[in-house]
């Protein structure tokens, strides 16, 4: 976290420029240094060793150790590598889109953080241009550009925030799918401006229509080919066509998990942090959420990876949802102690908000859909009279 003077941009705490790992990818040169703020300390784990590997079962642990030793890992800022590299906190780690909450009275910042290690798998790819690809491959290019960051490389989504697209053809018609993509829905923006002319390709990919099988590299190349083709509008680009090798990270936005399906790193997987911006010190840090089936007796919560952020009130409470245990919790803003919780119909899918009607204050949160209500809920809470 960087804490800056808003008038001058100068850091209020010391920042060191340190050397970082070099890239071994042919033709690529990584910047040799990166800035490291000395205060506040990082709110997400940035170092991982074999001792940090999850040990829920001997077999799963052995598998993780074998994979960990096969990867390149030189700590924070390890570049993607042809042999595969470890990325921590990961592209889904750290502070997510839910943002932080700030208490102006105490200058304390409340931020939720994830520890979500990721394996980056870089490969050299070759293949035809986008116009030569089959419909499903062109659809994959569209999905990679506009959908993958939310619904995942495997289309399985994130049960807390983004629905799985597996088996979509059994739940929705072609027309309904295209209308939703064009018009948007909830957190999903409208893509009407980029869908035109790609309808068949999008449906071919989302519905997994059977075609001749193509390699993963050929499928992912479509987006790169499209970008290169767009450059050919100028005479200069035709004279100086880029002939450099192309490398793709084929596992971006994924999670490093063991064969048991759980994260490769020991809990806690998510924390709620209270940081005093005047001193740069932590007031408290507690696990955010829980996997009850994994919590050992007498030990803290495991934490639960999620994207929604917290909200702090003048009444001294910090509210946070978005955990796999479906809990909506209120914490004492001074101590981090849980003072109230409720089990929601499904996982919270937004940062909470507050409003008042006729002098009475309410706390509202969006909740993901479930089998009874696929569209989800908006739930509001208030103190009793």
Tell me the percentage of the chain whose pLDDT exceeds 90. Answer: 60
Distance CA 367, CA 376 (A): 6
For residue 63, is pLDDT > 50?
yes
Q: Torsions phi, psi of 228, nearest 5?
A: -65, -40
Residue 246 has pLDDT above 70, yes or no: yes
Mean pLDDT of 328-343: 97
Q: Looking at the predicted structure, is the pLDDT value of residue 214 above 70?
A: no
For the record, the structure tokens of 183 come out as 């018009």
Q: What is the pLDDT of residues 16-52, one digit of tens each?
A: 999 999 999 998 999 999 999 999 999 999 999 999 9
pLDDT bracket for residue 140 (50, 70, 90)? confident
Query: Has residue 226 got a pLDDT over 70?
Result: no
Question: Which band of pLDDT confidence, cut at 50, 70 and 90, is reported for residue 54?
Answer: very high
The answer to whether residue 242 scores a pLDDT higher than 80 is no
pLDDT value of position 89: 93
Average pLDDT over residues 268-291: 97
- The model's confidence at residue 235, banded by pLDDT at 50, 70 and 90, is very low
| pTM for the structure as a whole | 0.76
In contact, 36 and 62? CB cutoff 8 Å: no
Q: Is the CB of residue 173 less than 8 Å from the CB of residue 206?
A: no
pLDDT cut 70: percent of the chain above it = 87
310 with 112: CB under 8 angstroms?
A: yes
Nearest to 200 by CA among 135, 277, 108: 135
How far are the Cα atoms of 35, 125, 153, 171, 185 from residue 177, in angstroms, in the given order?
44, 31, 19, 10, 11
User: What pLDDT was estimated at residue 251?
Assistant: 80
Whether the Cβ atoms of residue 76 and residue 20 lie closer than 8 Å to each other: yes
The answer for residues whose C-beta is within 8 angstroms of residue 166's C-beta and 6 or more apart is 155, 156
> What pLDDT shows up at residue 187?
72
Interatomic CA distance for residues 95 and 92, integer angstroms: 8
User: Cis omega (within 30 of 0) on the bond before 314?
Assistant: no
pLDDT digits (tens, 9 = 90+) for 285-307: 999 999 999 998 889 999 999 99
* Beta strand ranges found along the chain (DSSP E): 15-19, 33-37, 85-87, 100-103, 108-114, 118-120, 122-125, 246-249, 270-276, 281-287, 311-312, 317-320, 327-332, 338-343, 353-357, 360-367, 377-381
What's the confidence (pLDDT) of residue 125?
A: 67
Mean pLDDT of the chain: 87
Which residues are CB-neighbours of 171 under 8 A, at least 6 positions away? Answer: none
Helix (H/G/I), strand (E/B), else coil: 109: strand
Between 335 and 136, the higher pLDDT residue: 335
Per-residue tokens: 51: 């001792």
Q: Give me the sheet containing 108-114, strands edge to edge.
A: 100-103, 108-114, 270-276, 281-287
Q: What is the pLDDT of residue 217?
A: 55
- What's the average model confidence in pLDDT over 167-181? 90
**Residue 102 to residues 109, 111, 231, 356, Cα–Cα distance (Å):** 5, 9, 44, 20
More confident residue, 381 or 166: 381
Report the pLDDT value the prediction gives residue 39, as an integer from 0 to 100: 96
Instruction: Report how far residue 171's alpha carbon sits from residue 77's, in angstroms, rounded to the nearest whole number.
Output: 42
213-217 contact pairs (CB < 8 A, 24+)? 214/133, 214/134, 214/137, 215/127, 216/250, 217/123, 217/125, 217/126, 217/127, 217/248, 217/250
Q: Which residues contact 48 (CB under 8 A, 6 or more apart)?
A: 73, 86, 88, 117, 265
pLDDT value for 33:
98
Question: For residue 363, what are the β-bridge partners?
Answer: 354, 381
Of residues 157 and 125, more confidently modeled? 157
Per-position b or e across 159-179, b if 16+ CB within 10 A of its CB: ebbbbebeebeeebeeeebbe
- Please state the φ and ψ torsions of residue 38, each to the nearest 5 degrees: -85, -20
> Are 101 and 309 within 8 A, CB to CB?
yes
């Amino acid at each position: 976290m960087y804490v800056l003077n808003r008038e001058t941009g100068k850091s209020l705490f010391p920042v060191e420029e340190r050397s970082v790992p070099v890239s071994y990818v042919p033709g690529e040169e990584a910047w040799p240094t990166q800035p490291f703020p000395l205060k506040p300390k990082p709110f997400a784990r940035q170092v991982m060793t074999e001792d940090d590997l999850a040990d829920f079962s001997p077999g799963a642990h052995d598998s993780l150790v074998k994979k960990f030793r096969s990867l390149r890992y030189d700590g924070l800022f390890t570049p993607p590598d042809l042999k595969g590299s470890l990325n921590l906190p990961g592209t889904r780690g750290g502070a997510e889109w839910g943002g932080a909450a700030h208490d102006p009275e105490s200058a304390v910042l409340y931020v939720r953080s994830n520890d979500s290690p990721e394996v980056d798998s870089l490969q050299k790819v070759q293949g035809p241009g986008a116009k030569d690809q089959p419909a499903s491959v062109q659809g994959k290019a569209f999905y990679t550009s506009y959908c993958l960051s939310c619904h995942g490389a495997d289309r399985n989504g994130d049960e807390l925030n983004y629905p799985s697209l597996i088996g979509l053809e059994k739940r929705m018609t072609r027309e309904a799918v295209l209308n939703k993509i064009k018009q948007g829905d909830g957190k999903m923006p409208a893509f009407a401006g980029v869908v035109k002319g790609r309808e068949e390709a999008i449906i071919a990919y989302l519905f997994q229509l059977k075609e001749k099988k193509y390699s993963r590299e050929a499928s992912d190349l479509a987006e790169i080919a499209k970008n290169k083709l767009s450059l050919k509008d100028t005479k200069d680009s035709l004279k100086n066509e880029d002939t450099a090798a192309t490398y793709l990270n084929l596992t971006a936005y994924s999670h490093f998990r063991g064969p048991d399906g759980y994260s490769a790193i020991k809990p806690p997987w998510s924390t709620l942090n209270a940081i005093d911006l005047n001193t740069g010190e932590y007031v408290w840090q507690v696990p955010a959420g829980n996997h009850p089936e994994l919590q050992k007796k007498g030990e803290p919560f495991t934490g639960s990876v999620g994207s929604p952020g917290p909200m702090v009130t003048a009444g001294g409470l910090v509210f946070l949802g978005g955990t796999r245990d479906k809990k909506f919790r209120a914490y004492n803003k001074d101590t981090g102690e849980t003072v109230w919780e409720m089990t929601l119909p499904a996982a919270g899918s937004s940062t909470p908000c507050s409003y008042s009607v006729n002098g009475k204050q309410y706390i509202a949160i969006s909740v993901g859909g479930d089998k009874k209500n696929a569209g989800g809920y908006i739930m509001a809470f208030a103190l009793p009279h």
